[in-house]
Amino acid sequence: MSGVWTLAELREGQISPVSYELLAWGRSLADSLEVELSSIALGSKIHDVNSLFDHGADIVYKVDDDRIEHFLPDVYSNVITKLAKAYHPQIIIASATTYGRTIMPILSTKLNTGLTADCTKLEIENGTLLQTRPAIGGNVMATIRTQTTPQMATVRPRSKKPISYDKSQRKIVIPKIEDELFKSAYRWMKFEKDESIDSPIQESDIVVSGGRGMKDENHFEMLYELAKKFNGTVGASRTAVDMGWIPYSHQVGLSGKTVNPRLYMAFGISGAIQHIAGMSSSEVVVAVNTDPDAPIFNVADFGIIGDATEILPELLKALGDENG
Amino acid sequence: MRIAVLIKQVPATDKVRMDEKTGTMVRSEMEAELNPLDMYAVEEAVRIKERMKDAHVTAITMGPPAASDAIKDAISIGCDDGYLLTDRRFAGADTWATAYTLSMAIKKLGGFDLIFCGERATDGETGQVGPSVGAQMGIPVLTYVSEISELTGDHIRVKRAIEGGHETVEVDLPALVSVVKEINEPRLPNLSGKLKAKSAIVSNLDAAGMEADQSKIGLGGSPTRVVKVFYPKITRNGKIVRSKDPHTAAKALIEFLKSKEII
Ligand SMILES: Cc1cc2nc3c(=O)[nH]c(=O)nc-3n(C[C@H](O)[C@H](O)[C@H](O)COP(=O)(O)OP(=O)(O)OC[C@H]3O[C@@H](n4cnc5c(N)ncnc54)[C@H](O)[C@@H]3O)c2cc1C
Ligand SMILES: Nc1ncnc2c1ncn2[C@@H]1O[C@H](COP(=O)(O)O)[C@@H](O)[C@H]1O
């Protein structure tokens, strides 16, 4: 068995931060099992492999090839399957991003093993992995054991802070992959950046969300301004999305995105269970709502009973003063 | 063109009971509905049928006998027919065993050019079943599809909603497509749809009928086991203050953020 593996994630050759968070998860598992932690990096013109060592990896398996500049599910899964069959990892974890959520079920099918999605806790008991995850909008938590190997799981982005690591062996393995495995059924064509969103809402440190209580699209401008001041992104309840005030990619909740930022601010959001499902694991929650009985206050660390559309201008002004 | 839509029946309320012993959901005694995210898959399939004369749409679900209601819902908004995969031995299946069962049924039914599924089910919330079915079938998987830009008898080009934007990719058919909410606005059933659904006969398929390997289905065929189930308390007992005036409220909020070292 070759220990614990994490699937690094790359965008245009650049290692994305979720890869380091994943190494923090992997490090604690590898330490309890007393095995090595490896990171699997697939891509083209990969920069800064060393940063993976700095954040917890002992070994990096690197496949750097022009033909896999973009995510091709068949090639990626074939290559990782080949590596897993050759090196027998005990555990493989990935981030619950669109990449992780696509590649992991394909891999687990090819490797004939179980997979647990969106874990909030991973621990080792008697040498085996226990995976805890929420289900049904966070109403139920289940602890799951996979009886086959590798044991595979995805974890939510932002669910752990990256660590720094100085005991790495810094071993890079460059496996030989036959040309045959690079043949893809996918014809990748282009990527168009979404202009309305600077960074994906799931990866944001601070999410500033609005709901029906924001009253209209114009009031949402204040949320964009606030998000900008915090270097964060704007989220929304389903009602706000349904009203057409903001695109669906910003929706937080059961049928939208799950976020767990350091700070989640809810302006004019009632806190229906389906909304809470997408934000309850945020570190700090602030809510502004005119209704003292709004359920959002149950999950808030700090709440203000008041009018969001009146408090926001004051908040923006005060923050402006703070910054000089 | 033969199109299949994979749909799931999920509990309609948030009052869900779990069987503490087996760790699976107690489905009886609850109100159930068609997984809301699967409506988008059904709608997209039906829209293709409306554009392409020869298209035929089959809804497929695995579940208890009552799940035939989900098939009827799908027929009421335009699917041509449907199959319910039901067998006591399917019970307790995890995503791996569910995907295996669905893929065996698809093979039994003679294969499809396009297989649609939802992004995820609102009960299990894994989003694993779709890609896993595609992998079982050995066909390309297109996840997070927000637009079908081009579809012919032999290929499909889609936009995928991924972090930070949209990616365009193309594959030859057959392919499996999982859709996101952005893709369309599902219709409500009209009267003739409702009547059609009422009289529709939902065909059943069991393990023997689809020649499934008994060791790969249900709880026994599932590589994962639920070892414990618990109900978390999400209340935070935070400080709630009434705003005297917007200015003071904003100041209090800033003080709080400072105390948390956020600003
Ligand atoms: C299957 C399913 C999936 C769903 N998925 C999601 C999901 O992913 N995400 C999601 O968000 N919802 C989801 N919902 C919908 C959810 O149940 C709620 O309807 C929705 O979250 C409500 O949005 P809201 O809080 O903006 O609106 P409302 O519930 O109408 O609440 C508005 C709130 O604003 C307050 N308010 C009004 N005026 C002001 C003001 N001037 N200042 C401050 N506060 C004010 C009100 O007191 C109220 O609490 C889902 C529902 C279902 C059935
Ligand atoms: N029992 C089932 N029968 C048919 N389709 C299913 C079943 N379970 C899941 N699916 C499909 O797979 C998607 C993802 O489900 P899940 O992996 O459970 O989140 C759903 O939106 C459905 O399209």
The residue written with tokens 């932002």 in the block is: A158
Cα–Cα nearest to B182, from B198, B159, B201: B159
What is the C-alpha to C-alpha distance for residues A256 and A228, in angstroms, rounded to an integer?
A: 22
Q: Which of B39, B42, B98 most suits a substitution to test ligand 2, by most atoms within 8 Å of the C-beta?
A: B98
Task: Name the closest residue on chain A to residue B130, using Cα atoms.
Answer: A105
Q: Which CATH number does the domain A201-319 belong to among 3.40.50.1220, 3.40.50.150, 1.20.140.10, 3.40.50.970?
A: 3.40.50.1220
Say if B247 falls within a structural domain: no
The residue written with tokens 């009827």 in the block is: B72
Q: B14, exposed or middle or buried, with CB in 10 Å at 0-12, 13-18, 19+? A: middle
Mean pLDDT for A183-193 is: 96
Say if B121 falls within a structural domain: yes
CB contact under 8 A, B96 and A108: yes
For chain A, percent helix, then strand, then coil, each to nearest 5? 35, 30, 40
CB B89 within 8 A of CB B125: no
The distance of B176 to chain A (nearest Cα, Å) reads: 12
SS3 (DSSP) at A222: helix
Secondary structure of chain B in the HEC alphabet?
CEEEEECCEEECCCCCCECCCCCCECCCCCCEEECCCHHHHHHHHHHHHHHCCCCEEEEEEECCHHHHHHHHHHHHCCCCEEEEECCHHHCCCCHHHHHHHHHHHHHHCCCCCEEEEECCCCCCCCCCHHHHHHHHHCCCEEEEEEEEEEECCCEEEEEEEECCEEEEEEEECCEEEEECHHHCCCCCCCHHHHHHHHHCCCEEECCCCCCCCHHHCCCCCCCEEEEEEECCCCCCCCEEEECCCHHHHHHHHHHHHHHCCCC
CB contact under 8 A, A299 and B169: no
- pLDDT, tens digit (0-9, with 9 covering 90-100), for A248-265: 889 999 888 889 899 999
User: Is pLDDT of A197 > 70?
Assistant: no
The answer to whether the CB of B44 is under 6 A from ligand 2 is no
Q: For residue A299, give the nearest of B226, B234, B242 by CB distance.
A: B234
The answer to whether the CB of B32 is under 6 A from ligand 2 is no
Q: How confident is the model at residue A1 (pLDDT cuts 50, 70, 90)?
A: low
pLDDT of residue B27: 54
- pLDDT, tens digit (0-9, with 9 covering 90-100), for A60-110: 999 999 999 999 999 999 999 999 999 999 999 999 999 999 999 999 999
Question: Phi and psi of B178, rounded to 5°?
Answer: -110, 135
Alpha carbons within 13 A on the beta-carbon side of A309: 10
Q: Where do the H-state alpha helices sit in A231-324? A: 238-242, 273-276, 308-322
**In whole numbers, what is the pLDDT of chain A averaged over residues?**
93
Cα–Cα nearest to B4, from B64, B51, B46, B58: B58
CB contact under 8 A, A304 and B253: yes
User: Is pLDDT of A151 > 90?
Assistant: yes
Atom in ligand 2 nearest the alpha carbon of residue B121: 19
Say if B221 falls within a structural domain: no
- CATH fourth-level superfamily of A4-182: HUPs (3.40.50.620)
Say if B234 falls within a structural domain: no
Mean pLDDT check: name the lowest of A162-176, A205-219, B225-239.
B225-239
pLDDT of residue A140: 80
CB contact under 8 A, B164 and A142: no
Residue A268 Rama label (left phi>0; alpha psi -120 to 50; beta) = left
What is the C-alpha to C-alpha distance for residues B121 and B63, in angstroms, rounded to an integer?
A: 13
Report which bound ligand comes closest to the CA of B100: 2
pLDDT of residue B71: 97
pLDDT of residue B14: 53
Q: How confident is the model at residue A324 (pLDDT cuts 50, 70, 90)?
A: very low
DSSP A204: -
Size of interface A-B (CB pairs under 8 A): 259
Task: Produce one character per residue of B48-58: b if its CB has 16 or more CB atoms within 10 Å, e if not.
Answer: bbeeeeebbbb
Say if B161 falls within a structural domain: yes
CB B7 within 8 A of CB B36: no
Task: Name the closest residue on chain B to residue A156, using Cα atoms.
Answer: B126
Ranges of chain B whose pLDDT falls below 50: none
Please tell me the distance between residue B129's alpha carbon and the centre of ligand 2 in angstroms: 5
pLDDT of residue A273: 82
User: Is pLDDT of A163 > 60?
Assistant: yes
Q: Which tops the pLDDT comparison, A157 or B114?
A: B114
pLDDT of residue B237: 86
* DSSP output for A242-259: HTTSS-GGGBBSTTSB--
Number of separate domains in chain B: 1
| Residue to test with chain A: of B240, B258, B259, most A Cβ within 10 A | B240
The single-letter code of the amino acid at B102 is: L
The answer to whether the CB of B94 is under 6 A from ligand 2 is no
Q: Could you check whether A4-182 and A201-319 share the same CATH topology?
A: yes
User: Is pLDDT of A278 > 70?
Assistant: yes
Crossing angle (nearest 10°) for helices B68-76 and B191-199: 140
Q: B29, exposed or middle or buried, with CB in 10 Å at 0-12, 13-18, 19+? A: exposed
Here the CATH number for the domain that contains residue B114 is: 3.40.50.620
What is the C-alpha to C-alpha distance for residues A307 and B128, in angstroms, rounded to an integer?
A: 41
- pLDDT, tens digit (0-9, with 9 covering 90-100), for B146-192: 999 999 999 999 999 998 899 999 999 999 999 999 999 999 999 99
What is the C-alpha to C-alpha distance for residues B172 and B160, in angstroms, rounded to an integer?
A: 16
pLDDT of residue A309: 97
Q: Where are the domains of chain A?
A: 4-182, 201-319
**In the structure encoding, which two tokens stand for residue B91, read together?**
């019970």
CB contact under 8 A, B162 and A109: no
- Its domain, for residue B44, covers 2-216
With beta carbons under 8 A apart, name residues in chain A contacting B263.
Answer: 230, 319, 322
